[in-house]
């Protein structure tokens, strides 16, 4: 059975894309068939996997979604890129932002991505969607088609405070569009283990949310190596296999697999 996980937080720069890459490749290295979907017009996931000029790609998530909107058969196999580290990718580029605007006038606009994903589900064990930093129509689409949502949160005071709006949106999608949607958990990222402050933040998150939402035991450490991989086009496992960030993402992979 395939599980669709959307990685979501409207706050920018919290580690969504880095988590999509390294969780996705982590799951693939454990023998799972994994598809990564870039849901951000910035194309950061696409770039992080080594496709440096996403705007030159012809087949992307935007072209697939326009085919769905026009009730044509989406050209999925022409769009999927096979990455050398064993994951598949549906890339994105700036055209996705025009598409998001066009969605507004479409009937069933919140479930266009769901129509697409339902066709692809049978071929994968995990589909991971990297969301853009907003709660706009594309993110709603990503929530409407997911089984669960993973929320990366940068271990700092203000981002933790901003979670209420996201949780409210998830609840709304759950009630109106997707009853099966669950919160996979909050993942603390960029944790600076040298400071007590990081421990305070972790405790704050657990105290504030753990009665309603799971918080992953795994903490993703602040790591220069992790920051460097987006320019490398590879995962942390290939770039710095013995480092603490690789080890944390391996542990996260195991935790996600235990959730079933």
* Residues forming the site for ligand ATP (CB under 6 A): 12-18, 40, 44, 133, 189-190, 220, 222-223, 226-227, 230, 245
Least distance in Å: CB of 96 to ligand ATP?
Answer: 13
Least distance in Å: CB of 190 to ligand ATP?
Answer: 5
Q: Which of ligand ATP, Mg ion, none does residue 171 bind (CB under 5 to 8 Å by kind)? A: none
Q: Which is nearer to ligand ATP, 230 or 247 (CB)?
A: 230
How far apart are alpha carbons 246 and 207 in whole angstroms? Answer: 27
Q: In what order do the strands lie in the sheet with 148-154?
A: 81-82, 88-90, 34-39, 126-131, 3-7, 148-154, 182-191, 215-221
User: Using CB under 5 A, which of 6, 9, 17, 223 touches Mg ion?
Assistant: 17
Least distance in Å: CB of 40 to Mg ion?
Answer: 5
Query: Which 26-45 residues touch Mg ion, going by CB under 5 A?
Result: 44
Rg (CA), the chain: 17
Q: Is 178 an interacting residue with respect to Mg ion (CB under 5 A)?
A: no
Q: Which is nearer to ligand ATP, 20 or 183 (CB)?
A: 20
Q: Which is nearer to ligand ATP, 15 or 54 (CB)?
A: 15
Q: Which of ligand ATP, Mg ion, none does residue 220 bind (CB under 5 to 8 Å by kind)? A: ligand ATP
- End-to-end alpha carbon distance in the chain: 10
Q: Which of Mg ion, ligand ATP, none does residue 18 bind (CB under 5 to 8 Å by kind)? A: ligand ATP
Q: Tell me the three-class secondary structure of 162-194, residue by residue.
A: CHHHHHHHHHHHHHHCCCCCEEEEEEEEEECCC
Token pair, residue 46, equals 């696409």
Token pair, residue 73, equals 């058969």
Helices (H) and strands (E) in the chain, counts: 13, 8
User: Could you give the 3-state DSSP secondary structure of residue 71?
Assistant: coil
Least distance in Å: CB of 194 to Mg ion?
Answer: 26
Residues that bind Mg ion (CB under 5 A): 16-17, 44
């Amino acid at each position: 059975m395939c599980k669709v996980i959307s990685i979501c937080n409207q706050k920018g720069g919290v580690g969504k894309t880095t988590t999509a890459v390294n969780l996705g490749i982590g799951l693939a290295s454990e023998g799972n068939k994994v598809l990564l979907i870039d849901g951000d017009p910035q194309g950061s996931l696409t770039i992080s996997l080594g496709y440096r000029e996403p705007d030159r790609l012809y087949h992307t998530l935007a072209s697939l979604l326009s085919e769905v909107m026009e009730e044509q058969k989406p050209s999925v196999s022409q769009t999927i890129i096979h990455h050398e580290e064993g994951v598949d990718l549906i890339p994105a580029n700036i055209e996705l932002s025009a598409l998001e605007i066009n969605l507004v006038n479409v009937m069933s606009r919140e479930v266009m991505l769901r129509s697409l994903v339902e066709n692809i589900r049978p071929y994968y064990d995990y589909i991971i969607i990297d969301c853009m930093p907003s709660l706009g129509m594309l993110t709603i689409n990503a929530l409407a088609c997911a089984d669960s949502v993973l929320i990366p949160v940068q271990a700092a005071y203000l981002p933790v405070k901003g979670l209420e709006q996201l949780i409210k949106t998830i609840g709304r999608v759950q009630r109106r569009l997707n009853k099966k949607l669950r919160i996979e958990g909050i993942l603390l990222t960029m944790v600076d283990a040298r400071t007590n402050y990081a421990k305070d933040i972790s405790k704050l998150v657990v105290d504030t949310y753990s009665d309603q939402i799971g918080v992953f035991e795994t903490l993703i450490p602040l790591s220069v190596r992790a920051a460097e991989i987006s320019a490398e086009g590879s995962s942390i496992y290939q770039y710095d296999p013995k480092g603490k960030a690789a080890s944390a993402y391996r542990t996260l992979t195991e935790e996600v697999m235990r959730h079933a």
